[in-house]
Amino acid sequence: MGDHAERLLATLAQIRETDAQIQAWVSLDDEGAQRQARLVDERLTAGEELPLAGRLIGIKDIIDVGGLPTIAGFEPFRDRVASQDAPAVALLRRAGGIIVGKTVTTQFASSDPSKTKNPWNLECTPGGSSAGSAAAVAAHQVDVALGTQTGGSVLRPSAYCGIVGFKPSFDWTSTAGVLPFARTLDTVGIHARTVCGAAAVYDVLARPGLARAGSCEPLGPPRLAIWSDALAHASERMRAGVVDAVEALADEGALIQQTVAPISFDNLIALHTITSRAEAAAAHRELIFVHADDYAPKVRAMVETGLALPADAYVRAQQARDQVRRESLALWSAFDAIVLPTSESAAPDLSTTGNHALQAVATVLGLPSITVPIGFSSDYLPIGMQLIGVHRRADAHLLRVAHWVESRMPRLPRPPHGIQS
Amino acid sequence: MTTDREPDSVRWQLVLRTTLLFGEERSHANREEIESVSAAIERLERIKVEAFAALQPKARL
């Protein structure tokens, strides 16, 4: 048995043992993963170069993996088996990645809490909607995982679980085979324990023509702008944590200034609210009339309200988004990244997945965003700093800036729940 | 649902439309969601967008 096949066998047993508490997985694909691991060993022996050789990968359960059901937390989809891999999954396999299974999502990647627990404290949410993907990476069950973000579903769970979460620019990779919720917002994202781990996956999945992060070499000290309007939307403790981290970065040579957005933070969130409801209604307009009682309460309310939303409000919101995108480019072009807290607080209890506002501002503008762990709250829960890239081609540049930041922040230990060695 | 029943209020229009679509008993568009969306629409009215400005009535000379 080759190295990767051996490691996989041992890890699968550890996942089962630790997942009794964390509940990050919908299904584990033992047979398929073992087949892939043997194939990776054979390809390496044959001299192939595989950028993700043997990386263990979890896939959020709204993304198709051939032969496994895509349930999306929705009971009527329990037997909806995908006939083929989503293109993103196929690319991961081709690069030597081993798909371990499907990770838990909130229903339809929306905001009703899932069963997954936070590996740092089982009484706390891991966030949502990519709850299982973030928890599985934080618990060292897998090396990386794919998630998706329509509001804050990659960055918030990553911050709550103390890992790196990267949402590249809108449409950076194919969303074919990904269950849609809001067509101009849905973006595939990456959960990893380091920026370089996320960069390796980005380089495999990014569309041709987009710059690659390469070996993730950091740049010199970056020019960072604190978004003061956004800072005000975080708790006092979170603000203090981010300001302390920014001061530490300034001591290391980063140039720090303050900035605002072309419109207020609350108005940006209003554009996200209108867009997400209208587009969710379009995606669910048939399903909800057939299976209304199988919908979780929050997503049901969103879709029903979206169906009642005046069409002119949606069109006006899209025009406003276009204008704000143009104006923000002019306003922020002198900076390498915009800095804000990733979440308003550390992970709350299990009754909620947390507030999406601080992450949704990048999503509504289609800009890349990344969260990097910067330490702990007073309750020993991880907190993260968010960096937003200043234009839609800034993915690789943002990864390098984030790597510079990460290398100046304390490295978090393993969480108390999960694989320990 | 109790809400502002001014016939031209955004809230009331959303309540009316969801009730028409789903019926009063069946609608799950709860107060929190209606408040969130109607507040967003009201904010949208205050965002100055170039594309709309061209359509505003000109002041009479």
Task: Please write the tens of the pLDDT for every residue from A35-61.
Answer: 999 999 999 999 999 999 999 999 999
For A270, A364, A389, A397, B12, the CA distances from A210, given in Å and listed in that order, are 30, 21, 14, 11, 47
Distance of CA A308 to the CA centre of its chain: 30
Q: What is the pLDDT of residue A362?
A: 98
* Closest Cα in chain A, distance from residue B49 (Å): 6
CB A98 within 8 A of CB A15: no
User: pLDDT tens across A229-244, in order?
Assistant: 999 999 999 999 999 9
| ipTM of the complex model | 0.90
Among chain B, residues having any CB pair with chain A shorter than 8 Å are 13-14, 17-18, 21-22, 26-30, 32-34, 36-37, 39-41, 43-44, 46-47, 49-52
CB A294 within 8 A of CB A75: yes
Binary contact (B39, A323; C-beta < 8 A): no
Partners of A338 in the β-ladder: A225, A388
CB A343 within 8 A of CB A389: no
Q: Which two tokens stand for residue A354?
A: 């947390």
Residue whose C-alpha is closest to residue A97's, from A66, A159, A143, A139: A143
The pLDDT > 70 percentage for chain A reads: 100
pLDDT bin (cut points 50, 70, 90) of residue A411 is very high
Residue whose C-alpha is closest to residue A106's, from A152, A164, A159, A162: A152
Q: Which two tokens stand for residue A203?
A: 């380089």
Distance of CA A35 to the CA centre of its chain: 28
CB pairs under 8 A between A and B: 79
